[in-house]
Amino acid sequence: MNGLPGLTPVASGKVRDLYAVGADRLLVVASDRVSAYDHVLATLIPGKGAILTALSLWWYDRLADLVPNHLVTADVGRYPAELQAHAAALDGRSMLVRRLEMVPVECVARGYLTGSGLADYRETGAVGGVQLPPGLTDGSRLPEPVFGPATKAPVGGHDVNMSYAELVEMIGADLATRLRQLTLAVYRRAAELARERGLLLADTKLEFGLDPAGALVLADEVLTPDSSRFWAADEWRPGTVPPAYDKQVLRDWLRTESGWDPASGASPPVLPPEIVARTQQRYREAYRRLTADQQPSTATGVTPPPRPSGG
């Protein structure tokens, strides 16, 4: 994993690499890797890591009154001396964060029915253990946002949706209640902000950790096209799935045009340049529409917002 010589690697995920910084800090580096169907693809999406980092920072600022986050700083000039040799590689795509005791579940909020939630609904009539009205289809708006936890799978594995009752059994009723309340509060705030910008937040996946005092802290990426589905609001109709501002472009190509079968056990094919470009454009557009930034830089396609120094 270690692409930053001299630093101590801690973990490498589908997109992010983590390094130890002292006893109580981590360096989180967002790469340009992209995953689909539980595979990390061989093809990179240029500028993607910078977009994910900039968008997470933007959301941290807008959610700070609801929940604390793990950010220490994203200003490379304020990083510890041991990181300065890598300043050029880290600028714009990294964050120095607090170490937390991570809660071992993904916290999913859904306002619209699609993806794995749709699969669960078709099988059981419920999502996350919450019974839903009959007759819903792909893209249907839910009567109320639904909290649906999922297991955290290792790289190459598949997250499995679970019921709220199963979550309570795993982590206890008090922590489960706090997770559900915070996840839905974040979703509602984000959905409102997205709607003001012409986007629907169909669903999102959040991660939380516990600080030494036992407080829940928002961690990892937040409300990016990797962890969320953003749809064009003006093209949504009941029971339809409008154009998405995420990696659905490459998912569709893999499933319908490449000839690759995700169940085959074979590695995904290399993405053609036009699919890379279309995916890159979707990520850029999500950033620009959410942040109202219309002046992309030549390097990454985005001009990151001012970076908060604390969180």
- Domain CATH for 172: 3.30.470.20
Domain with 224 in it: 102-248
* Domain membership flag for residue 300: no
* Domain membership flag for residue 46: no
Digit-coded pLDDT (tens) for 77-114: 999 999 999 999 999 999 999 999 999 999 999 999 99
Pairing of strands 216-219, 105-112: unpaired
CB 198 within 8 A of CB 163: no
Neighbour order of strands in the sheet with 16-21: 8-12, 16-21, 25-30, 94-98, 71-73
CB 182 within 8 A of CB 208: yes
* Domain membership flag for residue 170: yes
* Domain membership flag for residue 211: yes
How do the pLDDT tens digits run along the chain, 311 residues long? 457 999 999 999 899 999 999 999 999 999 999 999 889 999 999 999 999 999 999 999 999 999 999 999 999 999 999 999 999 999 999 999 999 999 999 999 999 999 999 999 999 999 988 999 999 999 999 999 999 999 876 654 567 889 999 999 999 999 999 999 999 999 999 999 999 999 999 999 999 999 999 999 999 999 999 999 999 999 999 888 898 998 889 999 999 999 999 888 899 999 999 999 999 999 999 999 999 864 434 333 444 444 433 43
Identity of the amino acid at 80:
P
* Domain membership flag for residue 161: yes
* Domain membership flag for residue 134: yes
pTM of the model: 0.90
Return the structure tokens found at 283: 């990520």
Phi, psi torsion values for 107, nearest 5 degrees: -105, 110
* Domain membership flag for residue 205: yes
**In the chain, how many domains are there?**
1
